[in-house]
Chain A
Amino acid sequence: MKSLRRDVSSNPQAANVTSKVFVRSTKSGKVQKIVRELYLRQDIPCSSKLCSLCPSIAPADANGNIAPFILSDRPAGTKAFPRGHYLVPDTNALLNGMDLFEHTGAFYDVIILQTVLEELKNQSLPLYNRLLALIKTDEKRFYLFFNEFRLETHVRRGPDESINDRNDRAVRTVASWYGEHLRESSKNGKKEKAVPAIVVITDDRDSLRKAKDEHITALSLADYVAGLEDPGRLLDMISESKEARDAKGAARGELFYPEYYTMSKLMTGLRAGNLHQGVFNVSPYNYLEGSVNVAAFDKPLLILGRDNSNRAIAGDVVVVEVLPKDQWKTPSTKIVDEEAVTQNDNPDTEETEAVVTDRERKALQEEVKKAHGKGAEGKPQPTAKVVGVIKRSWRQYVGHVDPNSTGSQSASGRRQQMVFLLPMDKRVPKIRVRTRQASDLLDQRILVTIDSWDRNSRYPTGHFIRSLGELETKGAETEALLLEYDVQYKPFPKSVLDCLPSEGHDWKVPASKEHKGWRGRRDLRDLLICSIDPPGCQDIDDALHARLLPNGNFEVGVHIADVSHFVKPNNAMNLEASVRGTTVYLVDKRIDMLPSLLGTDLCSLKPYVERYAFSVLWEVTPNAEIVSSDFTKSVIRSREAFSYEQAQLRIDDSSKNDELTQSMRHLLHFSKVLRQKRMDAGALNLASPEVRIETDSDEVGDPLTDVKTKAMLETNSLVEEFMLLANITVASRIYESFSQTALLRRHATPPPQNFEDLSSQLSKKRGMELDVSSSGALANSLDRCVDPKNPFFNTLVRILATRCMTSAEYFCAGAHSESEFRHYGLASPIYTHFTSPIRRYADLLVHRQLASAIGYEGEDGHAVIEGVSTRNKLEDICRNINYRHRNAQFAGRASIEYYVGQALKARGEKMAAGGVDAGIDEEGYVMRVFENGIVVFVPRFGIEGVVRLEDFVLPGESGACSVAERRELAAHRTTEFDSEEYTLHVAEKGHPEKERGVIVELFQKLRVNVSSVKEEGRGAGKRRVRILVTGA
């Protein structure tokens, strides 16, 4: 039998058509063979300004313009490449050295291959996004070359060739093509130009060898960097490459951690329900204790010890397996700090290390003992171990070098050594960093990233990125804080500023009503509108008015800055705002979501000028029954901008009877009725430990006078009530129009078990009951939690109750059923954010949706569709703004904490007598009791702090000791901890007299001495606020 095969090679079309074949596994379990045809072209430019050929062949856009060429015609040279060079990195070079490529000192004119970009995307999404950002910026001159689509550089995978080999070959093919192409094009050119060298950067030994054979210049990343200026600093920025790690691991051969399960095993387990997936959280008090909330159980699973947490870092999405029942334990009742336990580890001598040091083991054993102790509170809880990591959420961490780890030779200069980096975030383990500049890095805030955490290493390995500045300097600490909470603080790029109105500050509401800006806007300039905000507020989002209608009812209006008029969808400003998500308020700094021209001027509803607004108008009866509501875009002129105090004074001043004051009095009246209604419906009055800091007070006085607890005036609640009302009204309106895509905000009902601890603590210590069956019931029972002797007690309970709840979140209406829309805290069936579009992106989106819902067309008629968005897109946005919102809160709090510390320090320095800071005496309340310490809340400064054994001033002792002296004391202290009664008895070891001890219990009011001390170890530079318990 004879068989013939059709000859494809004779087909002239075959050369520029090829296909890419791969297997795709879908989420639903389907496995498909995918074939993609590739049509190869020859009009993809090299994008070098040297090239004389490409400008004529590059494809032009509709206007006949070709994309500007990126690669410089005079690229930078080095010693090795005096005529300049273009870089062609392979994927591994980018994986190991992304920080280098981002560095502004070197790495210009880089050709990024499509092949490399795609490979990077598969390996690391964060790095991929960073690379994309690099390609977008002009100054670094990164050119994305679509090599797979260009006929000359397309590489067909040979038989038995691995994908890696093929991709390496693609990189080399491009390098040699570029070389040839540039030589050829410069030959054609009139003037003789020096052709830059094309340098392949690869760490693959095989590829380096092949490049040599093919006469292509190729260097490893380290070799290339060594030829640049300041190689020491740059070399530190290279991740420890996989090969080096492997070599080391093989040499040592010791494995400290169990291996992760294979992906398929994890998937099978997850589907079968015997493995669970969740986010790994670490207790802020005990770094060895983690927990994972999983969908299958109401309570989180405990993960105790390094062994079980198995290289997971706080925030990672992990898969856990429940441990057998005999290994179940209670959550720890002890404060365990990493630096206290592992102080003596040496980062270089890895041979001696075990995953669980003896000290750690001892710390754990003590907990187990307790767990097997007694009754209800000591009931063992299910524990689990991490068996796989689905997604690492490693980011860049801010910290400082542990001075103990630098070793004695630190002075000896540029020698490379391992140091430990102590991250600011206590939940993150110390990071082993290889550096050549250890001595320079001491006492600096530095930024590092984690590269890997292998089974053979007790701590994760990372590399240095950059230094933020000296510890405890304001600049470094502020930047550290912003980095730590992932706040985008860089100035707005030009592309964003280009989106601003060209008139700048001179922009005005058009005078003529015929102007297109007036289209669809109601003229509300004659209304007596005013705004009430915190003092010094520049970004005024909202303004109010009330007036009597002829029929005896009132018209109440809430007017919100019309940001959506200035921020159009699909431009750079909108994108930037959606990424930032929210304005972040620090004590002395505001990181704006929108450029300040808009935020503080054009959008801001400043008094005496006309501004565009989005108004919600209600007709209400004198009893605050809402008759009707109306929404409209408008033009307003605010009559006055009050601060809360000013407004309060004006209302209380009975001599003033002008219309504006009257209308404010009406508003106040309505707000009280509304508030009562809301409370009757079961809204919660929650408390958070907030203090406000007024920075503009004079320098001479006591710095602490700046720290003020937030006073609640009636006018605060006036504004708040109307904002809530506006938000609720708008929420139902947009939900009516967009049943799937309305952007809403919900606060999920917390599961009752969240309150279990607090509930049992209350009933044990105070005999009070907490009814958590509904928000109303909870509100009532919170109201009953009053201690006549201790007026702050109620607030304390509220703070604790707030912590038991879930946090509110933005969501898209289609993501939940209508019954899940409820806002638990506000007891409202539906809610959204509408009233602060200057500082929250969610509100801006809601504005667009509402405008679309009421049929507002805008200047160009596009507004109707601007509000419409797909659900997927909205859900992405929700995820981001929820995250940003949370981080903004954390950053704000951390900023206040830092400021309080600094204020205490400043005061301490001023008041210091005899070199010892006397501190300041305040009232404090016990929030939590541990076996070896307590957590105390100091309302005056809104701070809470851990009080360790040594910080108890026993009767008869002097409180004025330095930190070092006190530290000595810890060893002499003995404690008796009663987990049932939440009491801790601290006494001096071996002291016969019983009265030389202190007994503290939960909720107790204490006299404490607050001072700021320079913290050692983890929080260094942060000025730990030290709290001394001076008396019960």
Chain B
Amino acid sequence: MSVSDIVITSTGKKDPSFTIPVIAAAGAFAGIFVGAAQGSTLLGIVGGAILLAILAFLCIEKLGRDGEKMARWGILALFAVGGFAFGAVAGLVVGLLFGWFFGWFIYWIGFNRYRAHLVPYLTPGQVLWHYSFRVICGAIFVFLITPIIVVMPLSFNAEDFFTFTPEMLRFDPEGYSLKHYRDFFTNPEWTSAVWNSLKIAPVATFISVSLGTLAAIGLSQSHVPGKRAIMAILISPMIVPLIISATGMYFFYSKIGLVGTYWGIVLAHAVLGIPFVIITVTATLVGFDRSLTRAAANMGANPVTTFFRVQMPLILPGVISGGLFAFITSFDEVVVVLFIGSAELQTLPWQMFTGLREQISPTILAAATVLVSISIVLLAMVEMLRRRSERLRGMSPG
């Protein structure tokens, strides 16, 4: 039995003078979008309100709880047919979603189910806030995610523009193609960019992780003078605007002949990655028991052995998540590369940046989709490591 099955407050039929206006208002709100898409917002609002008021009346007053299953299937079918009549296959999908939602919504409101999982003494205002809060959170989530989601179907566009063609909206297979992915994986411009990124990021990550971990361990010792100042300097690449670091690096690296070289970019990216490693490793070291190193020393282990056999395994999750951040930083970085990089060392973000400015080709969207997928996998790994380390240290129930 999961939490959502527990009924705290008993439910029953609500008064229609409350339920029907509420459901009609929801219908009017949905009608705004349908109406706007079909040409008349006002008509959509009025139509949505009337339709939902009638449906609410039929379901709650006439069919009641016994006819719930039938009523919900009926609404689903009604909306699906209506949607198909307006907008073919795409309309059908939207109609099915609306039908499912309103079927559930009418019964949820009509039979007071929204109170079932809340404590009985809440005032109506508190109940309203309880659900508004969730809707607002959901809206923010949608706002953050939609721009990323929307490029994904576009990357399967059969045309060379960032446009949802009529064929795509009809779900016509003709409107979709994998040609941008083919271009991404076969065009030497893109493959060499991916290859360059893959040659640069791991080496930069390795340098960041080695130096960052050592710095974090050193700075966690209590006897280091000027700890805060040193820490601030080491983290500064994260705080100073990137364009300023990049300009400085460009002129400094030019003098010593590193501009346009492989090692120039690797070093620059390592500098940008170090703060992430320091911060994550320092956080892990807070929970590290110093008496363990003293115990190891007591048993005759030298500091290097102690580090690798005792300290390192315990702070490993922090080191790895710092490394992943350093990797993503290098893999996604465009500003410094534009300054330090050269035509032979075009990285993936460089290629995307220049490509987007000069020619709007959906190959960029294919690349973006691939990159987003990789980022999701990497971040999921970070999160899993974090949970594992919390579990190991007994900080969460599991």
**A and B associate in one complex:** no
Interface residues of B (CB under 8 A from A): none
